Structure 1
Amino acid sequence: MMRWLIVVFLALLLISWVRPWMEKMGLGKLPGDFHFKLFGREWYIPFTSTLLLSFVLSLLTKLL
């Protein structure tokens, strides 16, 4: 259980760092990408963008 909490925390931290780059690419503004404030901090959870990137990367790996 503790491992999953650490993984989720690190994933959210990584997403927060990558967010400005993703917005420049046009990702992060898709329906299903959540952006909210909690405990005085802005949180960003890009569900749809993550699925899209995963799909594109899996297609690239299958083609190569």
Structure 2
Amino acid sequence: MNSTETGKWIILAGLLIVVIGIIIYFFHDKLGWIGRLPGDIRIERENFRFYFPFTTMLLLSTVVSLLIRFIKRFLL
């Protein structure tokens, strides 16, 4: 991989982080369902809290995979 290609990937990653930040900043009150989907494992006791967002991770992984596939197919 040459340095110009690496630079393009770093710029793309930075833009993605900025877009995600803007979405979270402006729509944080509308994104309350993330992490509370059916299938997310949550165990809360008096002195113990365990949380495993299984369904949220599957959904996020699918969205990121589709986004990467779209970027590779149409923009690169």
TM-score, structure 1 as length reference:
0.55
Any gaps of 5 or more consecutive residues in structure 2? 1-23, 72-76
After superposition, the CA RMSD in angstroms is 2.4
Structure with more of its chain in strand, by fraction: 1
In terms of mean alpha carbon deviation, does 24-33 or 45-54 score higher?
Answer: 24-33
Q: How many residues align?
A: 43
Counterpart selection for 1:35 from 36, 42, 45: 42
* Partner residue in 1 for 2:69: 62
CA distance in 1 between counterparts of 2:37 and 2:44 reads 18
* Partner residue in 2 for 1:7: none
What amino acid maps onto 2:67 in structure 1? L
Any gaps of 5 or more consecutive residues in structure 1? 1-20
Detail structure 1 runs of 4+ shifted over 6 Å in the superposition.
none
